[in-house]
Amino acid sequence: MRRIALVAVLAFAACKPPPTDAGLDRAMPAEEPIFASDPLPSPDTEGAMWAPSTEEGRIIYGKPGEPALVSLECVEREGQSEALRITRLSPADEGAGALLALIGNGAIGRIEVDATEVGSRHVWQGELPAADTAWEPLAGPRQVTVTVPGAGMVTLNPSEMPWQLLNECRGNLEAIDEPEAEASD
């Protein structure tokens, strides 16, 4: 009985050809694969502040006399409501995409950002309708953090400017009462 089972197994195995290394001579990639750049450290934001940009409807954030770290801009979109565009002015790998997190004032917002060519470099940029709830972290008097994977975390010191720009972009042009400062998160 064992002999019959062994003969059956050998006969079945004979139906399939043995493995071959014929496919191993194909060309290998000429270059090493490209990986994401090394992550950047979070910048020091002590003394950083919001300031009006030279472009109307845009504000920038950074330390006086140093390159800006973040910008916010109210942009018109044809046939749609106004949008707010955020730019994390940090190097981004061409073709990359990520989620930018806004955290503060009791809210969390996530915005899709892409590596966008600005001038001669790629930076992280994304936009959403101004009415989108992802912008709510900007609507208050407390500190906000902006995080993009690999680009570090930027702490936005408390300021009315992002909140005012958000309201203007949403069409709430009435005078904005300054909220009472509450204890930090």
DSSP state of 6: H
What is the Cα–Cα distance from 126 to 97, expressed in whole angstroms? 10
Task: State the pLDDT at residue 20.
Answer: 58
What does the alpha-carbon distance between residue 148 and residue 109 come to, in Å, rounded to a whole number? 12
Lowest mean pLDDT among 10-19, 65-74, 152-161: 10-19
Cα distance between residue 108 and residue 172, in whole Å: 22
State residue 71's pLDDT score.
Answer: 96
Please, are residues 138 and 144 in contact by the beta-carbon 8 Å criterion? yes
Q: Residues 12-24, buried b or exposed e (16+ Cβ, 10 A)?
A: eeeeeeeeeeeee
Residue 79 binned pLDDT confidence (cut-offs 50, 70, 90) = confident
Q: Which domains, and CATH codes, for the chain?
A: 49-170 (2.60.40)
- Rounded distance, CA 145 to CA 105, Å? 10
> Each residue of 109-123: b (16+ CB within 10 Å) or e?
bebebebeeeeeebb
pLDDT at 97 over 60: yes
* Residues paired with residue 123 on neighbouring β-strands, in sequence order: 91, 116
Q: Is the pLDDT of residue 160 over 70?
A: yes
pTM: 0.73
